Amino acid sequence: MRPLVLGAGPAGCAAAIVLARGGAAPVLMDRSRTPGDALCGGFLSWRTVRNLQALGVDAEGAGAVRVTRLRYFGHGEPIEAALPEPGLGLSRHALDSALRRAAIAAGAQERIDHALDVAPGRVRTRAGEHTPGAIFLASGKHDVRGQPRPRLADDPVLGCRVRLCGDPELQRVIGDAVELHCFAGGYAGIVRQENGTVNICMAVHKSRLAGAGGDLHRLFAQLAVQNPQLGRRLDHVPAHEAIQSIGAVPYGFIARETSCGLFRLGDQAAVIPSLAGEGVSIALTSGIAAASAYLRGGPEAAPAFQRRFARLVRRPVGAAALLWRVSELREHGVVAERVARLFPWLLPMAMNASRVSQPSWVTQP
Ligand SMILES: Cc1cc2nc3c(=O)[nH]c(=O)nc-3n(C[C@H](O)[C@H](O)[C@H](O)COP(=O)(O)OP(=O)(O)OC[C@H]3O[C@@H](n4cnc5c(N)ncnc54)[C@H](O)[C@@H]3O)c2cc1C
């Protein structure tokens, strides 16, 4: 029986490519016929770049721009450092389109349908009921009934994003850097993307939004006053520009268990605090590792894969959570920035600590 990959984001497409190349003839299901433009910072880390190369997906051919530096704005003067290796800036529409094309070219069968609920061995969709040989749950930010992720935070975090095009001055200011602006209650990440666009993405606690009366434009205005460097970037956002948002991101979630035949991938396997810019890398790595485990051991391999993957991501997820916590709080942030200025090698070390490594069991089918 064909395995079913549920969700054609980075995790699902990576799994579908490896399954198809391994002769497992997967079905790749997504509710959208055209890949959307998922709310995301749009920064692809050097680990993501390597994963894409391994999958044969040409991100630079899709228009990605090279990103070679981190520019960090915290509580004192900005800190700038070279990334350990170059990353890329690319919209999720462009990335997901390239991945989906690669999965179909490898032999995955595309199916457009909306999954309603999932149980081990069974998926109910709008079109009917399926009992595939194995399920690869890759619905990402969206939980499917039957497989909820626990909500961990007292003050949940929401993501929001605005994409600006045709603003040469903002493109010049950002240059080849990914910018991180950290402030009490959240952070903003800014990076250039294909076709001259600039992506401004934020993760903020709901209490911050409540303080702005629930109005995202008012929140931007408050942040601009309190963080002048961020304010200079936000000045480029037109007053009526649509700001997209997504609620209650379960940062820190790691799936440690699953049933036989049910592989959890991507954000359904682990959610790393997004300021690390490593979520897509985790998604691709999980897809490659789960498909490889299935090709080696069949549906029964799922529980062992999930435990092993949970151990693999524990360090980067913990490191990213710690970095965010330190940079958010003024008293810790000021000390951390002084230390980072004294010992410049600490910054690349911190950037590497929040990457997911790639041991041989991930890639060997
Ligand atoms: C604010 C914010 C900023 C971020 N910035 C970055 C960044 O700069 N760099 C980075 O690497 N990561 C970043 N991330 C993380 C990254 O976006 C995720 O980790 C990544 O998208 C996970 O990929 P995925 O394939 O698991 O899920 P998704 O990308 O969410 O894809 C899921 C797919 O499943 C489909 N789907 C969902 N439900 C159903 C259903 N019921 N039936 C059928 N199909 C369904 C969707 O249509 C979609 O195509 C950020 C996250 C947030 C919240």
Evaluate: CB of 12 within 6 angstroms of ligand 1.
yes
- Strand (E) positions, the chain? 4-6, 27-30, 43-44, 65-73, 79-89, 109-112, 115-119, 122-125, 129-130, 135-137, 157-165, 177-183, 186-193, 197-205, 244-246, 262-264
pLDDT (0 to 100) of residue 152: 67
pLDDT (0 to 100) of residue 364: 63
Name, in order, each residue with C-beta under 8 angstroms of 336's C-beta and a sequence gap of 6 or more.
74, 326, 327
**What is the three-class DSSP state of 176?**
coil
Cα–ligand 1 centroid distance for 345 (angstroms): 32
The ligand 1 atom at the shortest distance from the C-alpha of residue 113 is 43
Strand partners, 262: 135
Evaluate: CB of 299 within 6 angstroms of ligand 1.
no
pLDDT (0 to 100) of residue 296: 95
pLDDT (0 to 100) of residue 10: 98
Helix 10-21 / helix 46-55 crossing angle, nearest 10 deg: 30
Evaluate: CB of 5 within 6 angstroms of ligand 1.
no
Instruction: Find out whether 291 and 19 touch, Cβ atoms under 8 Å.
Output: yes
Strand partners, 80: 71
pLDDT (0 to 100) of residue 339: 84
Evaluate: CB of 7 within 6 angstroms of ligand 1.
yes
Cα–ligand 1 centroid distance for 218 (angstroms): 27
pLDDT (0 to 100) of residue 7: 98
Which stretches of the chain drop beneath a pLDDT of 50? none
Cα–ligand 1 centroid distance for 327 (angstroms): 25
Evaluate: CB of 333 within 6 angstroms of ligand 1.
no
Output phi, psi for 180, to 5 deg: -120, 120
Evaluate: CB of 201 within 6 angstroms of ligand 1.
yes
Q: Kindly report the number of other CB atoms within 10 A of residue 75's CB atom.
A: 18
Digit-coded pLDDT (tens) for 166-176: 899 999 999 99
Amino acid at 332: H
Evaluate: CB of 37 within 6 angstroms of ligand 1.
no
The angle at the Cα of 155, spanning 149 to 160, to the nearest 5 degrees, equals 80
Among 130, 141, 216, 268, say which to mutate for ligand 1: greatest number of ligand atoms within 8 Å of CB: 141
Domains of the chain: 4-152+250-363 (3.50.50.60)
Evaluate: CB of 11 within 6 angstroms of ligand 1.
yes
Residue carrying structure tokens 């989906």: 100
> Which amino acid residue places its CA nearest to atom 12 of ligand 1?
279
Evaluate: CB of 30 within 6 angstroms of ligand 1.
yes
Digit-coded pLDDT (tens) for 325-343: 888 877 777 788 888 888 8
